Amino acid sequence: MELTEISCKTILNPTGGFLGQGFTHTINLYRGCALGNTLCGLYCYAQWNPYHVRGRMWGRFLDVKAGAVEAYCTQYDRLKNAGEPKPIRIFMSSVTEPYPPQERTLRRTRELLEAMVGRPPDLLAIQSHTPLVVDDLSLLRQLQRRCDVSVHITVETDKPRLPASFPQQAYSPNVRIQALHALRAAGLDAVATVSPLLPLDDPERFADELEQACTRVILDHYLLGDGSKDGQRTKQTAFPRLLREAGYEEWTTLEKFHEIVDVFRSVFGGPERVGVSREGFNASRNKVYDGPQCVSAGSGT
Ligand code: SF4
């Protein structure tokens, strides 16, 4: 893994497109991803971003941004303290992992969270593939007293292992579900992102496990949510072919996806805590969007 420190002058990046309904900014404290050689790296859409990759092999490099806290404070003060305060609704991260294993020593995400306690955004949604976000539980609880906080952990499958033709998962589904339990028990909005949906061993049991572990769930399929028309980005990868070769053809279809959404809605007692694709990602704790509709999720979840 090639680790490089790079300087950054801005860290709050205005967002639109897929995240534009619910968020004003994204934050990516790293460039590249240390999990790029694991299962999620296979279909990760960030690998197609030439600005981030710069001709390098996905999964072989991690650029670490220096000066992010200073950049955040400067941008925050401009947005909140100069004239009419502007909304700051942050999705962290959109093209990297905010809790790679290196975060345990580098603590760039933790430093930024500490700064956010003093300069709280209106909303912070953390999106991670790892259980390491639990390291910052007490800090997240502090931050939650100042602003809305959601923590999304991706759990795409209940299978501990896919066939050998697929790369291994960096963290088992079980440890990620345990992290969701810890977040929810701490009173945080703990969101399981089943995205992209992978083949499941037992959809009902998986939905039931997630129902107990999280406040809400977001389901997505690469045909809907990889940021390109009809999943063209993902179709450039080996992922759909590997699914077909392993006998999982039906999981490459939206028919199967909608069948699984129905299973989740049945187990979760309705659509309120089950978001789908773009609308699900853009919803906040009290609202889950489902296509053109929007319903209140209520409290106590
Ligand atoms: S953790 Fe996220 S950014 Fe990293 S390879 Fe996996 S999907 Fe991509």
Q: Is residue 20 part of a domain?
A: yes
Section 106-119 average pLDDT:
98
What percentage of residues in the chain have a pLDDT greater than 70?
94
Contact 267, 214 (CB under 8 A): no
Q: Whose CA is nearest to atom 3 of ligand 1?
A: 96
Mean pLDDT of the chain: 92
Residue 116, domain member (yes or no): yes
Tell me, what's the pLDDT at 82?
Answer: 86
In a domain, 213, yes or no: yes
The predicted structure's pLDDT at residue 299 = 30
8 A C-beta contact, residue 127 and residue 100: no
* 128 CA distance to ligand 1 middle (Å): 8
Q: What is the DSSP letter of 160?
A: S
- Asked, for residue 254, whether it belongs to a domain, the answer is yes
Which residue of 29, 97, 222 sits with most ligand 1 atoms within 8 Å of its CB, as the best mutation to test the pocket? 97
| Spatial CB neighbours of 256, under 8 Å, sequence gap ≥ 6 | 250
Q: Which of 26, 7, 160 is nearest to 98 (CA)?
A: 26
Query: Is the per-residue pLDDT at 290 higher than 60?
Result: no
Q: Provide mean pLDDT across the span 86-114.
A: 97
Residue 301 lies inside a defined structural domain of this protein: no
Mutate to test the pocket of ligand 1, among 96, 99, 127 (most ligand atoms within 8 A of CB): 96
In a domain, 109, yes or no: yes
Q: Is residue 233 in some structural domain? A: yes
Question: What are the DSSP E strand ranges found in the chain?
Answer: 2-7, 13-14, 25-26, 30-32, 61-66, 89-92, 123-128, 148-154, 189-194, 216-219, 274-276, 287-290, 293-296
Mean pLDDT of 54-67: 95
Check: CB of residue 111 under 8 Å from CB of residue 69: yes
Phi and psi torsions of 262, nearest 5°: -65, -40
233 has pLDDT over 90: no
Query: Residues of 161-195 as b/e, b for ≥16 C-beta within 10 angstroms?
Result: ebeeebbebbbebebbbebbbbbbeeebbbbbbbb
| CA 160/CA 157 separation, integer angstroms | 8
pLDDT at 164: 95
- Please give all residues whose beta carbon lies within 6 A of any atom in ligand 1, as ranges: 33, 35-36, 40-41, 44, 46, 96-97, 129
Q: So what's the pLDDT on residue 284?
A: 77
DSSP label at residue 63: E
- CA-nearest of 91, 41, 45, 99 to 225 is 45
Query: Could you tell me the residue range of the domain that residue 185 belongs to?
Result: 13-26+81-296
- Report the C-alpha gap between 57 and 44 in whole angstroms: 13
Q: How many CB atoms lie within 10 A of CB 99?
A: 27
| pLDDT recorded at residue 295 | 34
97 CA distance to ligand 1 middle (Å): 6
Q: How far is the CA of 59 from the centre of ligand 1 (A)?
A: 9
pLDDT at 286 (0 to 100): 60
Predicted pLDDT of residue 298: 32
CA 97 centroid distance within chain: 8
- Reading the block at residue 134, the tokens are 């639990």
Q: Number of structural domains, the chain?
A: 1
Here the CATH number for the domain that contains residue 104 is 3.20.20
Residue to substitute in 35, 127, 154, 239 for testing ligand 1 pocket (most ligand atoms within 8 angstroms of CB): 35
Backbone angles phi, psi at 225, to 5 degrees: -120, 25
pLDDT of the residue at 227: 77
Amino acid (one-letter) located at 31: R
C-alpha angle 39/106/96, rounded to 5°? Answer: 35
Atom of ligand 1 nearest to the CA of 40: 6
Query: Within the chain, how many helices (H) and strands (E) appear?
Result: 13, 13
CB 189 within 8 A of CB 75: no
Say whether pLDDT at 65 is over 90.
yes
Burial class (CB in 10 A: 0-12, 13-18, 19+), 296: exposed
95 class by beta-carbon count within 10 Å (0-12 exposed, 13-18 middle, 19+ buried): buried
> What is the model's pLDDT at position 150?
97
* Strand residue runs (E) in 155-282: 189-194, 216-219, 274-276
pLDDT at position 291 is 40
Question: 36 in a domain, yes or no?
Answer: no
pLDDT in tens, 122-180: 999 999 999 999 999 999 999 999 999 999 999 999 999 999 999 999 999 999 999 99
The reply to whether omega before 196 is within 30° of 0 (cis) is: yes
